[in-house]
Amino acid sequence: MALKHKTPMLDELEKGPWPSFVTDMKRMAARKATCEDWLGLMEMSYEDKEGHWKHGGIVGVFGYGGGVIGRYCDRPELFPNVAHFHTIRVNQPASKFYSTEILRKLCDMWEEKGSGVTNMHGSTGDIILLGTTTDQLEPVFYDLTHEFGMDLGGSGSNLRTPACCVGKARCEWSCIDTQDITYDLTQEYQDALHRPMFPYKFKFKTSGCPCDCVAAIARADCSIIGTWRDKIRIDQEAVRAYAGGELVPHGGAGGSEKRAVDVQAEIVDLCPTRCMEWDGKTLKIWDEDCVRCMHCIRVMPRALRPGTDTGATILVGAKAPILEGAQLSSVVIPFMKMEAPYEEFKEFVEKMWDWWMENGKNRERLGELIQRLGLQEFLKNCELTPDPRMVNTPRYNPYIFYDPAEVPGGWEHDIAAYRSRHQA
Amino acid sequence: MSEEAKQKILDYVKGQKKTKHYFNDLCKAVPELKMMQAKKVVNELVNEGKLKYWSSGSTTMYMLPGEGDVEKEEKGMN
């Protein structure tokens, strides 16, 4: 089918071995005029080397302060079908499990009421429905909530849609029920999700084990990462089987061939804290020095497994901005059991939010506030006790700042008494 | 208390030159309230249609309904 707009630059993106979104969009353009104009607008942006979308607006659905992102084209006379092109964020189910039935319904609805183009999933984790007009927002919202049992996700200065890894549903390393935590937090904090109140965005992400498959540590304001506090479970027979070439290492991730694992070179020598020892027959682990890097468990999953006294490490303060470098989150609670109904965790969250709301500047993420006012302030306000496990790097500044309240007698000195002792 | 706080917030917004306001700015109008309490008041104003949300997608701000007209916005006039 001949397209309304010539797209020589976009056509380049159809070459090469990978599937191309341009090819998909051209297919859609055959039945949706929106996609035809969308391609034309993109080609113009490539030619001009600048965007032609206007971002943001007052559009939304009644009672919700998030979930819809207003978007308009700045050349509506050339591309009238994308003059309004709002994005809808839909709260994805925990771990992103769907039935084919619901996906078909969702796609059919979006072909009828929107552009027909989706992004599964956005970096926050939501289902992104790309491009619709203002008059379709309420009908889409009605279908989502009444027909599909779904809801809008978070955007703007809201709690963003909590996200998690696949968890215990499919992963034997998961130390916590990531899906239950995500569902529980989503239900508990509905108000924060839909009615903005924070200085800026706030993200919870939950990973079942320290492999951290949702990259919580790199991008969540509050990361919940599964861990254990007892010993790594060792099957010494299986360790010897790996060393003898009877098993496929890395669970087959590096190839399905069996080969002998050099336990000393591939595991013990690569342990970041050197907490392991291998004498050719028995593998010993000094668990008190283990930092949960997961390397040994990943190489020999049949031989090594996380312990059984499981819970989570709570970290705060990550952000992954585009212009500046990413900031990783810091440990604030080394171990918490994380059992339903998660009261201990929620008490912490509410103290953390109170402090951030009272002290955060506009558009200041929690991690930035901690950097500005200090981790000590954060810990004090969240009633947490400092712990060596919160220290990432030993400080190199020799000066120690004491809180006067923590020093007997404070800073007050009896000057007269001092002078009487030092008269010259 | 709630009605008084609502009026203070509306007076504050009406007294500003700029049309979009952060939540933190609205709280300046009611310094006696904790942020969580202020949020409830602001929510009520939104539900009553006396304030509107404006969102860039990453940040949310508040504005008076008269200043946030969907039709104008769609024509690029806001």
pLDDT, residue A396, reads 78
End-to-end CA distance of chain B: 34
Q: How does pLDDT run across B38-63, given as a tens digit for each residue? A: 999 999 999 999 999 999 988 999 99
> How large is the average pLDDT for residues B68-75?
65
Q: Which residue of B has its CA nearest to A83?
A: B74
- Over 80: is that where the pLDDT of B70 sits? no
Confidence of residue B71 (pLDDT cuts 50, 70, 90): low
The nearest CA of chain A is from the CA of B51 a distance in Å of 11
Measured distance CA(B20)–CA(B18) in Å, rounded: 6
By Cβ distance, the residue of A69, A134, A361 closest to B70 is A134
Chain A touched by B58 (CB under 8 Å): yes
- The pairing of strands A163-164 and A204-207 is parallel
Residues 6+ apart with CB under 8 A from B2: B40, B41, B44
Which residues of chain A are under the pLDDT cut of 50? none
How far apart (Å, rounded) are the C-alpha atoms in residues B56 and B59?
A: 6
Chain A residues near residue B55 by CB distance under 8 angstroms: 56-58, 60, 65-66, 68-70, 155-156, 196
The reply to whether B76 touches chain A by the CB within 8 Å rule is yes
Q: What is the pLDDT of residue A398?
A: 77
Q: CA dihedral defined by A394, A400, A404, A408, rounded to 10 degrees?
A: 90
| Continuous H helices in A49-91 | none
- For B18-22, the CB contacts below 8 A with 24+ separation are B19/B63, B19/B64, B19/B67, B19/B68, B20/B54, B20/B61, B20/B62, B20/B63, B21/B61, B21/B62, B21/B63, B22/A199, B22/A362, B22/B59, B22/B61, B22/B62
The CA-atom distances, in angstroms, between A353 and each of A203, A358, B1 are 12, 8, 24
User: Tell me, what's the ipTM?
Assistant: 0.89
Task: Check whether B1 has a pLDDT greater than 90.
Answer: no
What CATH number is given for B2-74 in this structure? 1.10.10.10
Q: Does A362 touch chain B (CB under 8 A)?
A: yes
Q: Does A65 sit within 8 Å of B47, measured CB to CB? A: no
Model pLDDT for residues A290-317, shown as the tens digit of each residue:
999 999 999 999 999 999 999 999 999 9
Structure-model confidence comparison of residues B67 and A224, the more confident one? A224
Does position B76 have pLDDT exceeding 90, yes or no?
no
B63 touches chain A (CB under 8 A): yes
Which of A58, A59, A62, A350 would you mutate first to test chain B, the one with the most B CBs within 10 A?
Answer: A58
- Where along chain B do its domains lie? 2-74
Chain B residue at shortest CA distance from A66 = B55
Q: Are the beta carbons of A115 and A130 closer than 8 angstroms?
A: yes
Of A158, A195, A362, the CB nearest to B24: A362
Domains of chain A and any CATH numbers: 8-147 (3.30.70.2500), 163-229+309-404 (3.30.413.10), 233-305 (3.30.70.20)
Mean pLDDT of B2-30: 93
pLDDT(B5) > 90: yes
